[in-house]
C-alpha cells in the first residue's frame, strides 16, 4: 500500500485572510507536493486577545478565499468549538480522523515557528505532524534552529528534502523559501481603519465582504 499524499494544514486568525496566507498555501502545495491545503481559522486563539472580528465573519472570509483556489478546503471545527484553539488538539483530531499513516504537514510562517516553544504541549506537535516553515519578511530562522528551546528539537528533525514529508506521517521540519510578501492582517486592518485602499493585499471577494459587513472601519 502506498503512503497517502500529504495534507497541508494552515491555521491562523485570518482577521482578515490575505494574499500572504494564500501565497503561503499555494507555495507549500506546489513546492512540497501536498495533496491539498486545509485552512483552519482559529476560534479563540490562545496567544492573543480575542480577535476584533467575530469568528463567523473570519470563517466566511476564509471560505470566500478558498472557493477561488483549487486544492484548498476550509475546516470550521475551531470556530465551531467553544474551547480555546490549541493546534495540538486540532492535530490530534485530524490524526484520529485520518489515521496513523496519513502524512500531515503543519505550515507555519517563520514568525509563528519562532514562537512555537510558547505553544500548549508544543513538543507533542512533532509526533503528530511534520512542520514546514516558510520565510517571512522580518524573521530570521537560523538563530532559533541552533539556540534556545527549539534547538533541542530541531537539528535532528531538520531536512531540506521535501520527500521526508511522504516518507513518514510526522516528525520532520522542512524550511522553504517563498517570495516575500510583506502583508499582514494588522497592516490591512490599519489601512481599512484609515479609509485607505487595500486592493491587491487580499482577494477582491474578501474585500467586498469586508465592505458589505462594515468590518475594520471606524
Q: State the residues that interact with ligand ATP by CB under 6 A.
A: 12-15, 20-21, 24, 108-109, 111-112, 134, 136, 181, 183-186
Cell of 70: 483549487
Cell of 169: 506521517
Are 94 and 9 in contact by the 8 Å Cβ rule? The answer is yes
Least separation in angstroms between residue 138's CB and ligand ATP is 10
Least separation in angstroms between residue 24's CB and ligand ATP is 5
Alpha helices in the chain (DSSP H): 19-32, 55-67, 77-80, 87-98, 110-114, 125-128, 141-146, 150-157, 164-167, 185-193, 204-212
Cα distances (angstroms) measured from residue 146 to each of 70, 127, 140 = 37, 21, 12
Which is closer to ligand ATP, CB of 186 or CB of 212? 186
Determine the Cα–Cα distance for residues 32 and 107; give it in Å rounded to an integer.
10
Which is closer to ligand ATP, CB of 61 or CB of 134? 134
Least separation in angstroms between residue 101's CB and ligand ATP is 26
Residue with cell 486568525: 13
Which is closer to ligand ATP, CB of 4 or CB of 122? 122
Which is closer to ligand ATP, CB of 1 or CB of 14? 14
Q: How many CB atoms lie within 10 A of CB 28?
A: 26
Least separation in angstroms between residue 114's CB and ligand ATP is 9
Least separation in angstroms between residue 3's CB and ligand ATP is 25
Determine the Cα–Cα distance for residues 212 and 180; give it in Å rounded to an integer.
30
Q: How many CB atoms lie within 10 A of CB 109?
A: 20
Which is closer to ligand ATP, CB of 24 or CB of 164? 24
Strand-pairing partners, residue 106, are 9, 131
Least separation in angstroms between residue 48's CB and ligand ATP is 7
Which is closer to ligand ATP, CB of 111 or CB of 149? 111
Amino acid at each position: 500500500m502506498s503512503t497517502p499524499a500529504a495534507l497541508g494544514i494552515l491555521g491562523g486568525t485570518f482577521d482578515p485572510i490575505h494574499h500572504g496566507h494564500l501565497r503561503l498555501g499555494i507555495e507549500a502545495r506546489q513546492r512540497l507536493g501536498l495533496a491539498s491545503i486545509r485552512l483552519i481559522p482559529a476560534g479563540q486563539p490562545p496567544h492573543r486577545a480575542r480577535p476584533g472580528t467575530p469568528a463567523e465573519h473570519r470563517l466566511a472570509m476564509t471560505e470566500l478565499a478558498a472557493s477561488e483556489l483549487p486544492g484548498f478546503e476550509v475546516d470550521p471545527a475551531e470556530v465551531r468549538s467553544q474551547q480555546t484553539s490549541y493546534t495540538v488538539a486540532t492535530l490530534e483530531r485530524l490524526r484520529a480522523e485520518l489515521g496513523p499513516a496519513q502524512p500531515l504537514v503543519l505550515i507555519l510562517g517563520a514568525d509563528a515557528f519562532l514562537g512555537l516553544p510558547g505553544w500548549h504541549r508544543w513538543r507533542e506537535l512533532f509526533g503528530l505532524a511534520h512542520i514546514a516553515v516558510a520565510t517571512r519578511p522580518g524573521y530570521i530562522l537560523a538563530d532559533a534552529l541552533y539556540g534556545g528551546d527549539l534547538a533541542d528539537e530541531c537539528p535532528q528533525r531538520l531536512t531540506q528534502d521535501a520527500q521526508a514529508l511522504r516518507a513518514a506521517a510526522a516528525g520532520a521540519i522542512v524550511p522553504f523559501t517563498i517570495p516575500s510578501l510583506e502583508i499582514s492582517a494588522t497592516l490591512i486592518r490599519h489601512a481599512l481603519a484609515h479609509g485607505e485602499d487595500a486592493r491587491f493585499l487580499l482577494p477582491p471577494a474578501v474585500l467586498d465582504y469586508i465592505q458589505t459587513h462594515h468590518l475594520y472601519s471606524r
